[in-house]
Amino acid sequence: MQVNLHRSAPLADTDATFDDFLPEALQRRSPAALVDIGANLTHASFARDLEAVLARARAANVDALIVTGTDLAHAEQAVELARRFPGLFATAGVHPHDASHWDGALAAAMHELHRLPEVVAVGECGLDFNRNFSTPAEQERAFEAQLGLAAESGKPLFLHERDAGRRMREILRSWRDDIVDAVIHCFTADRDTLYGYRDLNLHIGLTGWICDERRGHHLRELVGEIPLERLMVETDCPYLLPRNLPAKLKGRRNEPSLLPWIVREIAHWRGDDDATLARATHDTARAFFRLPAGDGAIDTGHAQLKES
């Protein structure tokens, strides 16, 4: 197993500047460092310019990124990215959409990944009864198996739930004492579900969904009811481009450098200021994912690239 040797990079570089990919109106630097807890950087749309994407994240004061692993191939790619770039960490799991592929071999492969220091959470896993790309029975089977892996590894869970809040709560209640922590990423559900998650002492991840005036309305009224110390923020990039951006972005791909716009929207609806929210969510994320102390900076990593 390879051990990371590049864990002593300096904290977020205050000299980092934006390139001209983002229109000037979109170049927003967070007043305090942020962690993007949900970045799908293994998505094909980032293959061409990932280093520039990371440099812009740093300019926006995003100093750590959790790269989401949604199946075996993507989890392995996420680990590769975490090895190449300081400030990047990986999750490893099987998304409910892919739950029908769950079997013993996949479980064994996931178990191995969860032992790696680069992997800071089990997931993305959970339940999605909205689209049912895998049947509910297949989803529950894969989900429970991954809860077992999380219990075994002692690592927190990165959870996906859509239209399955009641079942999710039932299952999590029976596992709650065995797992350390869990975050419901991209929370979009209703008040009852939120309070159910609060009762289970779960964390909540918020995306740019709240910036969408067409479907984020109910969230605007709810976000103030999420305890500050339970809240984390994420782009879920390249998906969910925030709709509060003051300028058009060519390609319409969401990226981590846009996280300050999401924080701004959440802060507004909570009645917090950006800096307070940034600091709190940053501290929460670093503790939740047990990120190594002293490792803050995303480095574009030219010196550490293993291949050219």
Report the residue from 84, 160, 264, 286 that binds Zn ion according to the rule CB under 5 A.
160
Residue nearer to Zn ion on the CB measure, 182 or 297? 182
- Kindly report whether the peptide bond that precedes residue 124 is cis, defined as omega within 30 degrees of 0: yes
- Report in angstroms how near the CB of residue 128 gets to Zn ion at its nearest: 8
Question: Which distant-in-sequence residues (6+ apart) come within 8 Å of 67 by Cβ?
Answer: 39, 40, 41, 42, 78, 81, 82, 88, 89, 90, 91
- Report in angstroms how near the CB of residue 124 gets to Zn ion at its nearest: 5
- Report in angstroms how near the CB of residue 99 gets to Zn ion at its nearest: 13
How far apart, in whole angstroms, are the C-alpha atoms of residue 69 and residue 158? 10
Question: Which distant-in-sequence residues (6+ apart) come within 8 Å of 7 by Cβ?
Answer: 86, 292, 294, 295
Contact between 58 and Zn ion (CB under 5 A)? Answer: no
Phi-psi region of 140 (alpha: psi -120 to 50; beta: other; left: phi over 0): alpha
How far apart, in whole angstroms, are the C-alpha atoms of residue 282 and residue 33? 7
How far apart, in whole angstroms, are the C-alpha atoms of residue 170 and residue 213? 31
Q: Binding site membership: which residues?
A: 124, 160, 185, 236
Residue nearer to Zn ion on the CB measure, 39 or 231? 39
- Report in angstroms how near the CB of residue 239 gets to Zn ion at its nearest: 9
Tell me, by CB under 5 A, how many residues bind Zn ion.
1
Residue nearer to Zn ion on the CB measure, 160 or 203? 160
Q: Binding site membership for a divalent metal cation: which residues?
A: 124, 160, 185, 236
Span near Zn ion by CB under 5 A; candidates 79-87, 108-116, 142-150, 157-165 = 157-165
Span near Zn ion by CB under 5 A; candidates 20-28, 73-81, 153-161, 203-211 = 153-161
**Rounded to the nearest 5°, which phi and psi values hold at 22?**
-85, 130
Q: Residue with the closest Cβ to Zn ion?
A: 160
Q: Find, among 90, 87, 86, 64, the residue nearest to 77 by Cα.
A: 90
Centroid of chain to Cα 211: 17
Residue nearer to Zn ion on the CB measure, 83 or 95? 95
Residue nearer to Zn ion on the CB measure, 131 or 191? 131
- Report in angstroms how near the CB of residue 215 gets to Zn ion at its nearest: 15
How far apart, in whole angstroms, are the C-alpha atoms of residue 132 and residue 222? 27
Residue nearer to Zn ion on the CB measure, 69 or 301? 69
Residues that bind Zn ion (CB under 5 A): 160
